[in-house]
Amino acid sequence: MSEFLKIANKKFKSRLFMGTSRYPNQQIMLDSLEAGKTEVVTVAIRRISLKKYNENIIDILKKKYFILPNTAGCYTVKEAVLTAELAREALKTNFVKLEVIGNEDDLLPDIENLLPAARELVKKKFNVLPYCNDDPVVCKKLEDIGCSAVMPLAAPIGSGLGIQNKNNIEFIVRQSNVPVIIDAGVGTASDVAIAMELGCDGVLLNTAVAEAEEPTLMAKAMAEAINAGRNAFLAGRMPKRLFAKRSTTNKGRINIVKKN
């Protein structure tokens, strides 16, 4: 398998994608991105100003990272498409992380609107990375539409619950011909390692680092978990068994004869 993660026409060595919100301050955010060794950072277009005043966050980030704009906060097809178009004009990129949310309570994807939004953006020559449910049927439909990757959730956004449905994620990985990137719900390094052990191509996270007691240290742990999980997947784990299997044979075993 390739050392690089290829999405559309881009290649990335790091398989850890990181968000840029909810950090205590901007310096901690920058330090955490550095510690995570990420190459791709996501930015919510609806939450930032793209006006050119002094040096904004975009100016700072684009010096070192590939910026993946997302449509966070969009609830309709029209909102999501317009936000993506604004991002393309401002950032000069065809890449977009597509989010179409159903409501503010659970922040789960609205699949009824996500599919047509993805279809429209693909027609407009975007490289679409859709945030979606851990549903193999939905992921396959998004791939068939022409999305450049699929991004099933592990658990609800910001929950930190980790992967709730390993079977579905593994099924999505097996059937997909595009990269599978876990998006939302990881809470710690073991969650990231599990995602990679299941065969995922990458993990996108934000809150797990931003709200850690030591964000920079947690980012370092996440980077190490990506590598450990990826290596474990490539190595191929031992089969699971219902019963014990001894690691040594009976050859040379010392038999002690009991005296009556």
CATH, domain 5-235, list 3.20.20.70, 3.60.15.10, 2.40.10.330, 3.40.50.970: 3.20.20.70
pLDDT-derived band at 252 (thresholds 50, 70, 90) equals low
pLDDT in tens, 103-153: 888 889 999 999 999 999 999 999 999 999 999 999 999 999 999 999 999
Instruction: Give catalytic residue positions.
Output: 97
Asked whether the whole model's pTM tops 0.75, one would answer: yes
Radius of gyration, CA atoms only, the chain? 21
